[in-house]
Amino acid sequence: MNYDKEKNRILKDVFGHESFRAGQEIIVDNLLAGRDVVCIMPTGAGKSMCYQIPALIMPGVTIVVSPLISLMQDQVLSLVGAGVAAAYVNSSLSFSQYRTVIDRMQQGKYKLVYVAPERLSTDDFLRICKSIDISMVAVDESHCVSQWGQDFRPSYLTISDFIDALPKRPVVGAFTATATENVKRDIVKYLRLRDPESLTTGFDRPNLFFSVISTKNKLEHLLALVNERRGSSGIIYCMSRKNVEKVCDMLNRNGISAVRYHAGLDEQERKKNQEDFVYDRALVMVATNAFGMGIDKSNVAYVIHYNMPSCIENYYQEAGRAGRDGSEAECILMYAPSDVRAAEFITRLSEPNEQMTEAEQMIVRHRDEVRLKKMTFYCTTGECLRGFMLKYFGEKYPGSCGKCSNCINNYEKKDITVDSQKVLSCVARTRQKYGVKMITDILKGKNDDRITSLGFDKLSTYGIMKESSESYIRSVINALLLKEFLQQTAGEYPVLRFTPTSELVLKGEASVKSRILIEKQPKRTAKSNNVENPELYERLRELRKNIASSASVPAYVVFTDATLKEMSRLMPTTAEEFAGISGVGRVKIQKYGEQFLAQIRDYKNKK
């Protein structure tokens, strides 16, 4: 059967888009043809539509396996707002609500049902699913099935058993934003996918501006960053509950509407704070990484990491919650060397996975150490930040992006071989027993009691770089670490040690070149609020807010910020013109069209 006409009609009528984004149509076509798929697509690229459109065309119901209650609620709200019959089954439902959903499933009232993975293994739910026509199982955040992934969830391993227990095997789609090659292989293996079409559209998010900021006074700097972005919605990630409390209190004392989220809060407060943020009653969410997976809030204009995450996978996923609607947004990482030690400490304290052998656990610990090292390199590199991240995920990125702090700062490509020899010589003369700070202090010639008591002020390398700044010496050390001319041990007190190639630099048989920062901070940042006709845009936002409040739904369920920006730019005044705006579907024209058109006409008449 040829589904071309129907898939394009649904794309426009339901979701309000004239054409598919990169990769979407390939996934849709394969699922409609009955072929399993693995889809790796960055946050905000439209993964959900890849299974939602086939679900609306196929007979029967699609089961969407989703890891978090918030993800299900957001997705179902958006679908219902677009006129799609959808529901979710999770622990937030009362028994009577659960029975209502189950009864309607049996009556064929839903096209999509979102389900927590734990629910799949219950006898009652499986019995119901065996009695209805299930055409597709879509596994969202499918990286959770992999023990090598950053969010392994044992409940995901039951998904394949659920599928095998159905009378007729449905087509299966696996979807995620982050997956290395190892994780992709695990997805295929543990979900028992059959000859799947595998598609990776790329990890680049061109609308995001990436920056790393080194600062001694994080709280003061953070307040300045948030004040510069007043009126915009943002997420601030902290490594610990203590930091969440400290940052949230500081922001509220300074008149910024912020709420907090971490595992130490009771469920009622977490739910209230999350709703306040999603419904724009609070503009800033301060949270640990317990918050955010699957949050479908489209108008997050910035994500700030108050502490460095433990790996690039986590950073990419958390930072990617900015700019989901395609608008310009910022991802700012506030880095301090102490973050590395804190991350190492947390990694060492993590509970061992009982489902792994001791040998497997050792492999995972080693991989965690490697991931942390790569994350540290990201924070200290002089190279393009976007290029560094894409290279980590196996993609090539030529040249500079022009949209990260490293690319717009004043960096100079320098041959630092001589200074590298000074650093390596100092490491050798201190018998490879000390860390970055001690080596830096010796090279700077600091008058320190510990240095003199150890006799290091008598070394030939003492003060040999006294004319250089501490940040420059650290940048040379970081370059040596990045190029693996030096290595840093793990543990509470990491020390610098030689690698097999260190001697090549010392003997002048290998050169070291690196981009060295001249100006410390970015000269500009992304302009996430740059819109045409800002007065009209604010009027449309106010109208959207009132409509959303009356309907008790988040504002983005009515229209996303990107859609409002396009309205304020194009200023449609007829229903036909309004239908041409991206994100405006048939149901939303019927619901909201006249109200928004009236605002636009009024604005144009008064100009």
Q: Given this model, what pLDDT does residue 360 score? A: 67
Residue 528: its pLDDT value, please? 45
Q: Return the SS3 of 61.
A: strand
Q: What confidence score (pLDDT) does residue 527 get? A: 46
Helix (H) or strand (E) holding 172: strand 171-176
Q: What is the pLDDT of residues 560-589, one digit of tens each?
A: 888 999 999 999 999 999 999 988 988 899
Q: What pLDDT does residue 386 have? A: 93
Question: Architecture of domain 534-606 in CATH?
Answer: Orthogonal Bundle (1.10)
User: Which CATH architecture best describes the domain 4-200?
Assistant: 3-Layer(aba) Sandwich (3.40)
The two three-digit tokens of residue 347, written as one number: 């990694």
Phi, psi of 413 (to 5 degrees): -75, 120
d(CA 95, CA 226): 43
Decide if pLDDT at 59 tops 70.
yes
Give dist(CA 441, CA 424) in Å, integer: 14
DSSP letters, 183-217, are HHHHHHHHTT-SS-EEEE--S--TTEEEEEEE-S-
Whether the predicted pLDDT of 149 surpasses 70: no
Task: State yes or no: pLDDT of 412 exceeds 90.
Answer: no
Q: Are 36 and 194 in contact (CB under 8 A)?
A: yes
Residue 293: predicted pLDDT: 55
pLDDT reading at 356 higher than 70? no
Q: 30 or 370, which is more confident?
A: 30
CA distance 607 to 601: 10
The CA-to-CA distance between both ends of the chain, in Å, stands at: 52
* Whether domain 411-517 has CATH 3.10.105.10: no
Least confident of 115-129, 270-284, 488-502: 488-502
Q: Say what the pLDDT of residue 517 is.
A: 67
For the chain, what are the domain ranges? 4-200, 208-407, 411-517, 534-606
Q: Quick one: average pLDDT of 266-271?
A: 89
pLDDT at 349: 61
Q: What average pLDDT does the segment 378-395 reach?
A: 88
Query: How many CA atoms are closer than 13 Å to the CA of 88, on its beta-carbon side?
Result: 23
Q: With 80 as the cut, is the pLDDT of residue 153 above it?
A: yes
Note the pLDDT of residue 62.
97
| Residue predicted with more confidence, 216 or 38 | 38
For range 478-498, the mean pLDDT: 84
Rg (CA), the chain: 26
Give the model's confidence band at 290: pLDDT under 50 very low, under 70 low, under 90 confident, else very high: low
**Tokens of residue 207, six digits:** 């609308």
Residues 6+ apart with CB under 8 A from 392: 312, 374, 378
Residue 157 pLDDT class (50, 70, 90 cuts): very high
Please say if the pLDDT value at position 44 is more than 90.
no
Distance separating alpha carbons of residues 441 and 461, to the nearest angstrom: 11
Q: Please report the pLDDT score of residue 148 as a whole number.
A: 67
Reported as half-sphere exposure (CB side, CA atoms, 13 A), residue 607 has a value of 12
Q: Provide the H-helix boundaries in 497-585.
A: 502-506, 534-551, 555-558, 561-570, 575-579
In this structure, are residues 388 and 502 in contact, taking their beta carbons and an 8 Å threshold? Answer: no
Task: Show Cβ contacts of residue 15 under 8 Å, excluding neighbours closer than 6 positions.
Answer: 49, 52, 53, 82, 583, 585
Q: What is the DSSP letter of 432?
A: T
d(CA 123, CA 120) in angstroms, rounded, equals: 8
171 Cβ contact list (under 8 Å, min separation 6): 31, 34, 35, 36, 135, 136, 137
Distance CA 256, CA 250 (A): 9
Q: What is the mean pLDDT of residues 343-370?
A: 70
Q: Count the alpha carbons within 13 Å of 379 in the hemisphere toward its beta carbon.
A: 28
CATH entry 3.40.1390.30 includes domain 208-407: no
What is the distance between the alpha carbons of residues 426 and 419, in angstroms, rounded to a whole number? 11
Helices (H), 381-522: 385-392, 405-408, 417-429, 436-444, 449-453, 470-482, 502-506
Per-residue pLDDT, 532: 85
Asked whether the whole model's pTM tops 0.75, one would answer no
Q: For the chain, what percent of residues have pLDDT higher than 90? A: 56
pLDDT beyond 90 at 460? yes
Give me the pLDDT at residue 523, please. 46
Q: Is the pLDDT of residue 1 over 70?
A: no
Most confident of 49-58, 320-329, 505-514: 49-58
Question: 337 pLDDT band (50/70/90 cuts)?
Answer: confident
- 38 bridge partner residues: 174, 198
Residues 508-513: what's their mean pLDDT?
Answer: 92
Half-sphere exposure of 228 (CA within 13 A, CB side): 14
pLDDT value, residue 605 = 87
Say if residue 431's pLDDT is above 70.
Answer: yes
Q: What average pLDDT does range 349-375 have in this prediction? A: 73
Within this chain, domains 4-200 and 411-517 share the same CATH topology: no
Lowest mean pLDDT among 191-200, 344-353, 438-447: 344-353
522 pLDDT more than 60:
no
Q: So what's the pLDDT on residue 524?
A: 45
pLDDT at 314: 86
